[in-house]
Chains A and B, each alone.
Chain A
Amino acid sequence: MPIPQKGDPDYVEYVLRTAQGGLIRQGVINEPRMLFDELILPSGANGSAEIVNGNPGVFVNGEQFPLRITHMTATVRHSALEVLLQTIGIRLNYHDQWYMNPRFLPVPVFGNKSTAAPEPASSATAHWDFVANGQPFVMSARDTLVVRVQLQVVPASTGAKLTANVTFEGIGTMSRRPYILNGQIDLDDLAAIDIPTANFRNDGVEPIAITDMTVNLSGPDLSSPQGFVSNLRFNVMQVGNGTGVRWFSGPAFPVNIQLAQATLAGVTTGRALVHQFPGDGFIWEPGEGLTLQAQPRVNNLLDGGNPVVLCLGLCGYIMVV
């Protein structure tokens, strides 16, 4: 059955039905998830012959409930040239089964979904429509979201601040009215900071089916107003009736990376390369997962003397059943 679009007569009922009942399984709670990894590409004179393996255990369902993976998003770490994504080959492996191919394929060739935002907003915004790309989740009354944000690079100008803005949209399960929960915070250093949770709290008397998440990072007030959302890392956790687990899970070893580059959340709109998995995606039971390998397609892959880092996310949601 085609998924209703916003504005369709049956959109609201579809959202509420899937939020409460689960699209694939009759879950008690469905919550967004993203497993993400960051790989430093070999940059030597013979780098294109080297293979770099993903960090251990990253793309594995480490929770005790099934996980449905619907999309893969990819980009390079902030401040690298985005076009260098074209010079990276990847392959995904599950117990000697390859997705898509045993050869290292250039990352862009995986793209099968157009996600471009208008140019004035393109570099600053990442948007994830949970309905079109998975399913909505429920924020019960008095629930809130903990949104932690962090810059990767401080503004060049002394005193300049970058404003991180995170927005959730939803529909009241009883009133059918729209809700917008928004929080923002000014950032000028590399500290990881929680946006005040009061901004995201469901203060009403009804549960909200959350349909969309949008992340934006403005430019410094002293120069261009359009920022680069790739400069922002963030993570989200529902407090209350949710799982109480951070939505995004990254490598824990050798470096523990707790916050994901916001570009990877651009499942619907943004600057990440997006691959939609076939059909309903993969359903991973606890302990299931796959392995990522990457390989430069060129020797001496450096960006201004720095190695290029591939950021790759597997997006979907967990089904507490």
Chain B
Amino acid sequence: MADGGLIYEPRALWSIANVVGSSDPQLLQVDRRHLFNGERWPITITRVSLAAINYTLAGTPPPASTADLDTSTIISRARVSLSVPLRYHFNRRQPIVVAGFGPERTAQPPTANTAIAGPYGTLTYRPSSLFGLSHLRFDKPLMLPKNGTIEWGLSAHTSPLPTPVTTNPPVSYASMLYQESGGFFGGSGRSRDVQLFCYSGQALPGIECWPYSPDTFGGGAMPAVVSSNNWWPPQSLFPAGGNAPDFFGQRNTTFSAQESTRSGSTELSGMSCFFFQVQEDVLVSKDPGGTAPSVPPSELCTRTGCRVRSTNAGSAGHDWWRPGAPVCLVMDTITPANVIELSEPITLGPGEQLDAEIEVPANLADQQTTFRIGVSFNGYAAIEG
């Protein structure tokens, strides 16, 4: 919404600490370059989200193996310190357990702890999530001019599937909805579905923060699989290039053709991303290696990176956040991440940055040797219109 000549766009400063465990406790700093406001506009931080990245959602009690304990509950092991240099520290004296920050109510209802048998086959453990939903309600409405658009890209994800699957619709897909204000019903929405791909290369644990390293189910240990050796498959971008219809019969022009207010600007109030993962859950449970997991896989929103920018609008081509942010960290209204609402927003001027330190314990018998903790400072940029 225009406000004294300002327009607003969502922003997030995020990073992932990808720590190889050792026999000693470790204290290290999250890459400060990732938490740096490198734009020429101030960024106001209103929330902090924290999550274990690319972990199994939950174990099955009693644990049948150590893998059953190597889950997203690892956020109860790692501890973090968050601060704004030269201004203040969130926690003054000692790091706080990631799960110990007071979370907002952002969770979906839990999945029922039962096996399912549906149109996609039999699943012998809990599905990854009930609704597969991530949602971000914008702090301030985003004005999209008539010819403006929002470009979204979703990364490939590290998850082994038994064989390439090219069904229609695809095994897993994402469905986006941009919710608009105004119009006949007081609200409308533009949508687009995109196909999702597994990464056919191998990402190694501990090497980099992104792409995310393999999850508990083996990553490279299973047959290298489906579809793409590109971390940003063009089919997972939209608006995508070309005018050929995709899996869903949509064309490049589909998004723009849904303009609800052709004559003027549109005010966006939020956006949702729904990951359809039911079929992938079933396929993973049939893995050809004979090591079908007894625990549910991580949600796709915790292992799919995203990049977003508005074109012909707002900051005109600037990414809203550093490309590759896990969806669960930056879409934080409905998310499996631990989200903290700041009682007072923090405004970072150009060139200012945040600090985050992470402390991980020595190798634990019940955990894997890698800790992957994601942290994201979320808010909005105020841009001169």
A117 within 8 A of B: yes
A148 within 8 A of B: no
Measured CB to CB, the closest approach of chain B to A193, in angstroms, equals 27
Q: Residues of B contacting A277 with CB < 8 Å? A: 185-187
Q: Residues of B contacting A152 with CB < 8 Å? A: none
Closest to A279 in B: B186
Closest to B277 in A: A86
Q: Residues of B contacting A102 with CB < 8 Å? A: 258
Give Cα A240 to B334, complex, Å.
41
Question: If A86-B131, A109-B175, A278-B185 touch, does A103 touch B191 (CB 8 Å cutoff)?
Answer: yes
A203 within 8 A of B: no
B118 within 8 A of A: yes
Q: Mark B182-224, 1 if CB is under 8 A from A, else 0.
A: 0011111111000000000000000000000000000000000
Number of CB contacts from chain A to chain B under 8 A: 138
Q: Which of B21-29, B30-38, B104-112 lies at the interface with chain A?
A: B104-112
Give Cα A83 to B270, complex, Å.
24
B175, A82: Cβ atoms under 8 Å?
no
List residues 162-196 of chain B with CB under 8 A from any CB of chain A.
Answer: 169, 175-177, 179, 181, 184-191
B137, A85: Cβ atoms under 8 Å?
no
B155 within 8 A of A: no
Q: Mark A72-107, 1 if CB is under 8 A from B, else 0.
A: 000000000111111100000010011111110110
Q: Residues of A contacting B189 with CB < 8 Å? A: 100-101, 105
Q: Residues of A contacting B117 with CB < 8 Å? A: 303-304
A5 within 8 A of B: no
Q: Residues of A contacting B191 with CB < 8 Å? A: 100-101, 103, 105, 109
A94, B137: Cβ atoms under 8 Å?
no
Give Cα A282 to B187, complex, Å.
10
B289 within 8 A of A: no
B185, A111: Cβ atoms under 8 Å?
no
Give Cα A300 to B119, complex, Å.
7
Measured CB to CB, the closest approach of chain B to A262, in angstroms, equals 14
Question: If A86-B274, A119-B110, A123-B112 touch, does A111 touch B133 (CB 8 Å cutoff)?
Answer: yes
- Please tell me which one of the listed residues A112, A297, A303 contacts residue B270 in the complex, with CB atoms under 8 A apart: A112
- Please tell me which one of the listed residues A100, A108, A297 contacts residue B187 in the complex, with CB atoms under 8 A apart: A100
How many chain A residues sit at the interface, stated as a range, is: 35 or more
A87, B278: Cβ atoms under 8 Å?
yes
B109, A271: Cβ atoms under 8 Å?
yes
Give Cα A123 to B111, complex, Å.
9
Measured CB to CB, the closest approach of chain B to A181, in angstroms, equals 26
Q: Residues of B contacting A81 with CB < 8 Å? A: 116, 118
Q: Residues of B contacting A34 with CB < 8 Å? A: none
Question: If A109-B274, A278-B187 touch, does A114 touch B334 (CB 8 Å cutoff)?
Answer: yes
A298 within 8 A of B: yes
Closest to A120 in B: B110
B130 within 8 A of A: yes
Q: Residues of B contacting A84 with CB < 8 Å? A: 118-119, 278
Q: Residues of A contacting B372 with CB < 8 Å? A: none
Closest to B249 in A: A103
- Please tell me which one of the listed residues B116, B188, B333 contacts residue A114 in the complex, with CB atoms under 8 A apart: B333
How many chain B residues sit at the interface, stated as a range, is: 35 or more
A172 within 8 A of B: no
Give Cα A55 to B102, complex, Å.
45
B278, A83: Cβ atoms under 8 Å?
yes
Q: Mark B266-280, 1 if CB is under 8 A from A, else 0.
A: 000110111010100
B177, A298: Cβ atoms under 8 Å?
no
- Please tell me which one of the listed residues A83, A278, A300 contacts residue B127 in the complex, with CB atoms under 8 A apart: A83
Q: Residues of B contacting A273 with CB < 8 Å? A: 131, 133
Q: Residues of B contacting A302 with CB < 8 Å? A: 118-119
A112, B188: Cβ atoms under 8 Å?
no
Q: Residues of A contacting B135 with CB < 8 Å? A: 111-112
Q: Residues of B contacting A85 with CB < 8 Å? A: 130-131
B179, A100: Cβ atoms under 8 Å?
yes
Measured CB to CB, the closest approach of chain A to B209, in angstroms, equals 28
Give Cα A297 to B276, complex, Å.
11
Q: Residues of B contacting A170 with CB < 8 Å? A: none
Q: Residues of A contacting B105 with CB < 8 Å? A: 114, 116
Question: If A86-B131, A105-B177, A278-B269 touch, does A116 touch B187 (CB 8 Å cutoff)?
Answer: no
A105, B186: Cβ atoms under 8 Å?
no
Measured CB to CB, the closest approach of chain B to A307, in angstroms, equals 11
Give Cα A103 to B191, complex, Å.
8
Closest to A302 in B: B119
Q: Mark A265-306, 1 if CB is under 8 A from B, else 0.
A: 000001101000111011000000000000001111111100
Measured CB to CB, the closest approach of chain A to B142, in angstroms, equals 15
Closest to B185 in A: A99
Question: If A114-B105, A298-B119 touch, does A106 touch B276 (CB 8 Å cutoff)?
Answer: yes
9 A-B pairs whose Cβ atoms sit less than 8 Å apart in the complex: A81-B118, A100-B191, A105-B189, A109-B133, A112-B179, A114-B106, A277-B185, A297-B169, A303-B117
A interface residue numbers (CB < 8 A to B): 81-87, 94, 97-103, 105-106, 108-117, 119, 122-123, 270-271, 273, 277-279, 281-282, 297-304
B interface residue numbers (CB < 8 A to A): 105-112, 116-120, 127, 129-133, 135, 137, 169, 175-177, 179, 181, 184-191, 258, 269-270, 272-274, 276, 278, 333-334
* 14 extra A-B contacts, CB within 8 A, seeds A86-B278, A94-B184, A109-B177: A84-B118, A84-B119, A101-B191, A101-B258, A105-B177, A105-B189, A109-B175, A111-B108, A111-B131, A112-B333, A115-B109, A122-B110, A278-B269, A298-B119
